[in-house]
Structure 1
């Protein structure tokens, strides 16, 4: 029920006689893939009245420079600026890349959006609607666009089931489960602590940014639309490496959670429950295990179809 309440839910939009808050969108880029131009173009065609696009590219010879310049020429009515060259403020290359753009951003609301994200026309409006007076950070639950191939299907199933369960439960319990691929936040709150550069000393800057907002008493929430990852580079090895990197960060930051994490997986918790049922009630453990897996798969399918809408 919570998944249907939270995802793809239309919130009341701001009244027409009230000004929409302006949004500065930071796009850190490095290199390019076959989908980069199409992904970036969706940011130029959003149906939101007041925003600026700030593209951040570390190297002047990066091929992404040409893509950005062509889009800026194609959409001259959209306020957009290209920043070349990073400023070293810490060990985090993403923060180094975005620092100048953040400092020169015009609006109070800042959207940090990774290069592989594809936007719908109303995605930004959806995120802004969740930015209430008591909310300091709105982020999107990770998901993927429809793409061909086994690796793309594997990613979609993972983000639409296992990752979605964690994200939805964390949002319900007000637990920090923030991934910074698409995040709308209040610039003034970060400025109170020195700005974005303060988090350059962390590799997992997204976790600590969210922690900072929570420690300051601000609410954080996910918007109703998931983040549509649409990278043109999609293979099993890179996906596995990504999951491994996230697991290492969780071990370093929240080691207690990683101990209990296997109990959230289908096979492990099913085996434990089957053993317990056989000991306590003398039920057939194999039958219990198979029924558990079937019901788990049905629930995963229901969750995936809800996220996919």
Structure 2
């Protein structure tokens, strides 16, 4: 009798894994179809009687890289009627200050200001940095844009056009510019496949997936939640800003243009540390991540699916596993092509190498995040607590 119960238990487990496996293929298809429909649409022209609202753009800056000047310049050359640029710099010795002053001299007609020093309102160094700029923002719509973001001339128009009357936050799906080198290829593969798949599917069903690298918000809603300083206790302020807006009955969503990350620093260890940091934040904010994220990766899910199908149907697990990897690989290539919206800047062979490296290392990066909960970010070290709150172990500037 006990043997029958054991068999029944494993039958239920196998059936649950099989259903999850089938469901995840639907996520693949949904991301491709929704991405094809949603991304890279050309902005339509609004009638003159409905002018675009003015926008305040907060730019937190710390340090420089080889692409910073050209990235910042794209904000001075946007085709948008009225906006202000609020550059927030940690201190007067930061080399980014000189670049900003050069751009302000080059484009004197653009409304731009510099705020130095920030204000200590919490643990989050980004929130502290932009606090003075936020307090001085003149317009109801404000945008937080990281230093590594590159804008197209019509990006802001695209974001504002998606800010409907019932929408409180519009963000851009993270992607990366075309750059040379294998690390850049690996980044593009990640953001155009694994990250894009979940991001697009989550946006379609209305799940909070907002990232703060490029996000447009209504200032009155954030003020109602206590202002930006109320989110200084979190490292993942973007998640909680979006949550506060959704909790007030407003919608959030993505625009049609991805966020073009164009950092001049591109190394595999740096990229992997970034992935680990994001995983740590997800684990702290959404504990179910501990279970569902690992089994959503290609290799582990393929192994589990092969076992479950063998248990249920007695099919060859090796054949099932190989077919699983091949189908996943093909769908990822299709999704990446959709997100890129043009020819990929690398060969199919480079894609194979980058894709396998990403998929094979993903479980190890997640285990690193799970068993090392502290985060090193900027010059500080932080300990994450459940719910996303953090405490600083090594204050910035101290040995």
Aligned mates of 1:260, 1:304 — CA distance in 2: 23
Cα displacement string for residues 243-299 of structure 1 (whole angstroms, at most 9, x for unaligned residues): 111111111111112311112111111111112222222222111111111111110
8 Å CA contact 2:192, 2:340 repeated in 1 = yes
Please report the TM-score for the alignment, with normalisation by the length of structure 2.
0.76
How does 1:170-185 map onto structure 2 within 5 Å? 170-185=202-217
Aligned mates of 2:158, 2:264 — CA distance in 1: 26
The answer on 1:148 being equivalent to 2:208 is: no
The answer on 1:186 being equivalent to 2:218 is: yes
Cα displacement string for residues 163-199 of structure 1 (whole angstroms, at most 9, x for unaligned residues): 0011011111211111100000001111112211111
Question: How many residue pairs are counted as aligned between the two chains?
Answer: 309
The answer on 1:30 being equivalent to 2:62 is: yes
Aligned-partner SS, 1:61: coil
8 Å CA contact 1:46, 1:122 repeated in 2 = yes
How far has the Cα of 1:43 moved from its partner? 0.4
Which residue in the other structure is 1:56 paired with?
A: 88
Aligned-partner SS, 2:293: helix
Aligned mates of 1:275, 1:11 — CA distance in 2: 48
8 Å CA contact 2:43, 2:157 repeated in 1 = no
Aligned mates of 1:9, 1:27 — CA distance in 2: 26
Aligned mates of 2:136, 2:158 — CA distance in 1: 25
How far has the Cα of 1:14 moved from its partner? 2.5
Aligned mates of 1:11, 1:278 — CA distance in 2: 50
Cα displacement string for residues 202-256 of structure 1 (whole angstroms, at most 9, x for unaligned residues): 1111111011011011100011111010000110111111111111111111111
How does 1:269-280 map onto structure 2 within 5 Å? 269-280=301-312
Which residue in the other structure is 2:170 paired with?
A: 138
Which residue in the other structure is 1:303 paired with?
A: 335
The answer on 1:121 being equivalent to 2:149 is: no
Question: Tell me, which stretches of 5 or more residues in structure 1 are unaligned?
Answer: none
Cα displacement string for residues 59-88 of structure 1 (whole angstroms, at most 9, x for unaligned residues): 101000000000000001111111111111
RMSD of equivalent CA atoms: 1.0
How far has the Cα of 1:135 moved from its partner? 0.2
The answer on 1:75 being equivalent to 2:101 is: no
Which residue in the other structure is 2:144 paired with?
A: 112
Aligned-partner SS, 2:158: helix
How far has the Cα of 1:13 moved from its partner? 3.7
How does 1:218-233 map onto structure 2 within 5 Å? 218-233=250-265
Segments of 4+ moved more than 4 angstroms: none
The answer on 1:44 being equivalent to 2:76 is: yes
Aligned mates of 1:81, 1:73 — CA distance in 2: 12
Which residue in the other structure is 2:51 paired with?
A: 19
Aligned mates of 1:257, 1:216 — CA distance in 2: 25
Question: Tell me, which stretches of 5 or more residues in structure 2 are unaligned?
Answer: 1-32, 342-399
2:230 pairs, out of 198, 201, 221, with 198
Aligned mates of 1:211, 1:105 — CA distance in 2: 22
Aligned mates of 1:110, 1:228 — CA distance in 2: 19
Aligned mates of 2:87, 2:330 — CA distance in 1: 42
Query: Is the radius of gyration larger for structure 1 or structure 2?
Result: 2
Cα displacement string for residues 112-144 of structure 1 (whole angstroms, at most 9, x for unaligned residues): 000000001111111001000000000001100
Please report the TM-score for the alignment, with normalisation by the length of structure 1.
0.98
In structure 2, the CA distance between the partners of 1:159 and 1:285, relative to structure 1 (3 Å rule), is same
Aligned mates of 2:259, 2:81 — CA distance in 1: 21
8 Å CA contact 2:43, 2:154 repeated in 1 = no
